[in-house]
C-alpha cells in the first residue's frame, strides 16, 4: 500500500479529530508522503517521533499497534502473569498514551502496573526488576523537542529490548491493522478487576534506598557546597532534590522557571542538557549564589550534565567524557581505597566514547570493555556478566552524558549520578580541591584528550537515501592522513570482526591515538561524527582537533555532492 492509499485509509477509518487534521494537509502532497511513506519503526529503543496523524508519526493508533505487537510477544512467551510496568514523563499526551498502553496489555490478559504520576526512566528500569515483570515501557521522547513523544521498551532484566525481541515486535506490527480496536479493556474496568494496578510510593522508597546505598563517602565530605539544580521541567524533580537533601546537601538552589513538569518546555524548546545554550537560566542562578556545582537532568531524568568553575571562577560546562572521567576516577579510586574492588571488575563504554577512562580504570585494576552505542548494549553486558560471572559491572557510560553507576537499574540514571557527583564535589572540596583542578591533574597524568562532534541532517525520504549513500561511499573512500597524522586502522562495525554486534559505524584510528567515528543516529534523521585527539600538551591536542574537524567536514561535504549527483 503506497502512501496515498494509506492516507485514504486513515481518512476513512480514523476518528473525527484525526480526519480533520488530515484533511488540512490534503493539498500538501509532500507532507502526506512524509507522514505515510513508512510506519514509525519499533526499534531496539522502542518508538520515537513527532506527534501528529500518520503512520510515520506518534499518535494513539501507532501506540496501540506497537503495544499490541509487544503484548502478542508476551503472550507467545506465556508470561502474562508476570506482567508489565508502565511509566510516563511530562510530555504532552504521555499520560494519555500510557493509559492506552495499559488498556491494550490488560485486554490481552497481561497484568499491568502503572505509576500514579510521572517518573524517571531509571525508576522504570528498577521497577521491572523490583516487581519481577516480563517487560516495561516508559512513555517519553527523552530530550527531543516538545513536538516529539514515544516510548522506551524494556525486557525482564530491566534493560532496553535488544534485536531478538525488537525484530519479533516489528514482524508482528506488519500484520496488525492499525485500526484494530479488539482486545482493549477500559482502564477503569481493568482497575476494578485488578489486572491494572496503580503503583507509587512503595517502588519510590525502594528505588531511593538503592540510590542511597551507592554512597562511598559521607562524613569526610563538605556538605555545604552550593548546588544549583534544574530538571528542565521534567521528571528529575521527583527525586533529585530529595535525594541530595537526604544526603545532607541542603544548600540547593532550584531553577524555579524549570521546576514544574511541563511538556511545552517553555524555557528550553530543545530540552537537551548537552546543549550549553540551555544553561541560560541555571547560569543566572549560579552566578547569583556563587555556586560550586550546577546539575541539569533531561526531561526523563536518565541523563545528567554539569557545570563547574574554572581557576578564574568562570562557569564551565563539562562534556560527557569529562564528567565520565571524573566519575570513573572517583568511584574506582574510592572502591580501591575501601577494599571494594574485585579482580574481575569491568568498566563498560560505547565505541564512540573517549578513551581517557581506559588508563584510569587500568590503574585501579579494572578492565575496560567496549560495546555499541546505547545503554541497551552497555547494560546488556551487565546482564551477560550476571549470568556468566566473567566480569563484575562497576560503571557504564557514554559520551552523551549518560552514566550507570549501579546495576539495580539497567539504564543510564541521572538520579544516582547526581548524588555521586555532589558527593564527589564535596569530597574534593573537603580536601581543598575543585573538580576543575582534579580534571586537570588527570590531564597532566594521562594526556590532554580533546573532542568534538557534529551532525549532518538528512530529512525525509530523499534525505534517508542520501544518508545511506554517504555511509556506503565513505566505506570505500576516506582520508588516510589528516594534519600530517597517518591512519593506522579503519574499523567497519558492520562487516569487521569486532566482538560486538554488527552496526553501521565506521571508526578511523590514527598513529598518535587520535580517532574519529561516523554513524547514522538511531533516533533522529542525521549522520553523527565524533572526533577525538590526544597529546601531552593541551594546545597541540586542540590544534589537531581543529585540523581533524576541518578535513572531515570537507570530505563528507564532497561525498554528499557525489552521492546527490549520482
**Span 475-524, pLDDT tens digits:** 999 999 999 999 999 999 999 989 898 999 999 999 999 999 999 987 67
Domain's final residue, options 141, 168, 199: 199
| 4 within some domain | no
| Alpha carbons 125 and 322: distance in angstroms, whole number | 26
Contacts of 117 (CB under 8 A, 6+ apart): 200, 238
Task: Point out the least confidently predicted range of 230-234, 443-447, 460-464, 545-549.
Answer: 460-464
Q: Which helix (H) or strand (E) holds 463?
A: helix 460-476
pLDDT at 44: 67
In a shared domain, residues 455 and 437? no
Domain that holds residue 465: 448-564
Q: Measured in Å, how far apart are the chain's first and last C-alpha atoms?
A: 28
| 13 within some domain | no
Mean pLDDT of 284-306: 98
In a shared domain, residues 344 and 327? yes
Domain's final residue, options 199, 221, 237: 199
Share of residues in the chain with pLDDT > 90 (%)? 93
Write the pLDDT tens digit of every residue in 64-114. 999 999 999 999 999 999 999 999 999 999 999 999 999 999 999 999 999
In a shared domain, residues 357 and 244? yes
**Three-state DSSP class for residue 35:** helix
What does pTM read for this prediction? 0.95
Catalytic, 142? Answer yes
Say which CATH number the domain at 156 has: 3.40.120.10
| 22 within some domain | no
| 49 within some domain | yes
Average pLDDT, the chain: 96
| 24 within some domain | no
In a shared domain, residues 524 and 417? no
Name residue, grid cell 574534593.
Answer: 428
Split into its structural domains, the chain has a count of: 3
Question: Cβ(65)–Cβ(29) under 8 Å?
Answer: no
In a shared domain, residues 421 and 467? no
| Alpha carbons 95 and 117: distance in angstroms, whole number | 8
pLDDT above 70 (res 242)? yes
> Annotated catalytic residue: which of 94, 125, 135, 142?
142
Mean pLDDT of 465-469: 92
Write the pLDDT tens digit of every residue in 541-554. 999 999 999 999 99
| 25 within some domain | no
3-state helix, strand, coil in the chain (%, to 5): 40, 20, 35
In a shared domain, residues 117 and 157? yes
Write the pLDDT tens digit of every residue in 138-196. 999 999 999 999 999 999 999 999 889 999 999 999 999 999 999 999 999 999 999 99
Instruction: Label each residue of 226-267 as H, E or C.
Output: CEEEECCCCHHHHCHHHHHHHCCCCCEEECHHHCCCCCCCCC
Amino acid at each position: 500500500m503506497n502512501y496515498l492509499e494509506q492516507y485514504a485509509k486513515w481518512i476513512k477509518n480514523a476518528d473525527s479529530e484525526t480526519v480533520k487534521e488530515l484533511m488540512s494537509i490534503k493539498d500538501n502532497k509532500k507532507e502526506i508522503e512524509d507522514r505515510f511513506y513508512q510506519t514509525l519503526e519499533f526499534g531496539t529503543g522502542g518508538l520515537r517521533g513527532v506527534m501528529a496523524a500518520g503512520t510515520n508519526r506518534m499518535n494513539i493508533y501507532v501506540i496501540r499497534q506497537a503495544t499490541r505487537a509487544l503484548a502478542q510477544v508476551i503472550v507467545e512467551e506465556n508470561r502474562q502473569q508476570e506482567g508489565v510496568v508502565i511509566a510516563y514523563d511530562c510530555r504532552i499526551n504521555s499520560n494519555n498514551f500510557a493509559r492506552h498502553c495499559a488498556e491494550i496489555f490488560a485486554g490481552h490478559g497481561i497484568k499491568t502496573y502503572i505509576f500514579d504520576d510521572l517518573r524517571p526512566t531509571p525508576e522504570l528500569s528498577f521497577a521491572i526488576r523490583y516487581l519481577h515483570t516480563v517487560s516495561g515501557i516508559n512513555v517519553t521522547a527523552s530530550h527531543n523537542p516538545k513536538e516529539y513523544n514515544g516510548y522506551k521498551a524494556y525486557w525482564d532484566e530491566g534493560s532496553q529490548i535488544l534485536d531478538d525481541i525488537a525484530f519479533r515486535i516489528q514482524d508482528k506490527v506488519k500484520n496488525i491493522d492499525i485500526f484494530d480496536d479488539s482486545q482493549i479493556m477500559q482502564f477503569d474496568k481493568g482497575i476494578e478487576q485488578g489486572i491494572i494496578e496503580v503503583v507509587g510510593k512503595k517502588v519510590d522508597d525502594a528505588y531511593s534506598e538503592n540510590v542511597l546505598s551507592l554512597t562511598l563517602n559521607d562524613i569526610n565530605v563538605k556538605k555545604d557546597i552550593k548546588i544549583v539544580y534544574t530538571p528542565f521541567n521534567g521528571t528529575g524533580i521527583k527525586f533529585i532534590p530529595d535525594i541530595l537533601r537526604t544526603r545532607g546537601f541542603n544548600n540547593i538552589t532550584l531553577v524555579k522557571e524549570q521546576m514544574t513538569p511541563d511538556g511545552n518546555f517553555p524555557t528550553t524548546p530543545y530540552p537537551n542538557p548537552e546543549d550549553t545554550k540551555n544553561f541560560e537560566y541555571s547560569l543566572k542562578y549560579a552566578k547569583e549564589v556563587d555556586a560550586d556545582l550546577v546539575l541539569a537532568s533531561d526531561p526523563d531524568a536518565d541523563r545528567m550534565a554539569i557545570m563547574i568553575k574554572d581557576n578564574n571562577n568562570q562557569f564551565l560546562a563539562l562534556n560527557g567524557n569529562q564528567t565520565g572521567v571524573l566519575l570513573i576516577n572517583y568511584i574506582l579510586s574510592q572502591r580501591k581505597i575501601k577494599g571494594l574492588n574485585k579482580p574481575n571488575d569491568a568498566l563498560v563504554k560505547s565505541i564512540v566514547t573517549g578513551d581517557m577512562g581506559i588508563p584510569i580504570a587500568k590503574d585501579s585494576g579494572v578492565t575496560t570493555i567496549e560495546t555499541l552505542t546505547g545503554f541497551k548494549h552497555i547494560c546488556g553486558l551487565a546482564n551477560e556478566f550476571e549470568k556468566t560471572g566473567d566480569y563484575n559491572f562497576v560503571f557504564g557510560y557514554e559520551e552523551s552524558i549518560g552514566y550507570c553507576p549501579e546495576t539495580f537499574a539497567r539504564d543510564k540514571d541521572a538520579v544516582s549520578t547526581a548524588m555521586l557527583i555532589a558527593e564527589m564535589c564535596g569530597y574534593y572540596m573537603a580536601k581543598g580541591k575543585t573538580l576543575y583542578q582534579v580534571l586537570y591533574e588527570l590531564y597532566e597524568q594521562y594526556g590532554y584528550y580533546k573532542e568534538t562532534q557534529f551532525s549532518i541532517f538528512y530529512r525525509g525520504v530523499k534525505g534517508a537515501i542520501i544518508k545511506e549513500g554517504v555511509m556506503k561511499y565513505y566505506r570505500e573512500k576516506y582520508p588516510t592522513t589528516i594534519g600530517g597524522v597517518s591512519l593506522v586502522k579503519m574499523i567497519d562495525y558492520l562487516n569487521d570482526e569486532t566482538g560486538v554486534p554488527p552496526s553501521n559505524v565506521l571508526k578511523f584510528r590514527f598513529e598518535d591515538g587520535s580517532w574519529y567515528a561516523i554513524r547514522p543516529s538511531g533516533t533522529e534523521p542525521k549522520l553523527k561524527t565524533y572526533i577525538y585527539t590526544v597529546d601531552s600538551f593541551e594546545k597541540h591536542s586542540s590544534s589537531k582537533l581543529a585540523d581533524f574537524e576541518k578535513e572531515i567536514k570537507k570530505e563528507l561535504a564532497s561525498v554528499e555532492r557525489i552521492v546527490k549527483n549520482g
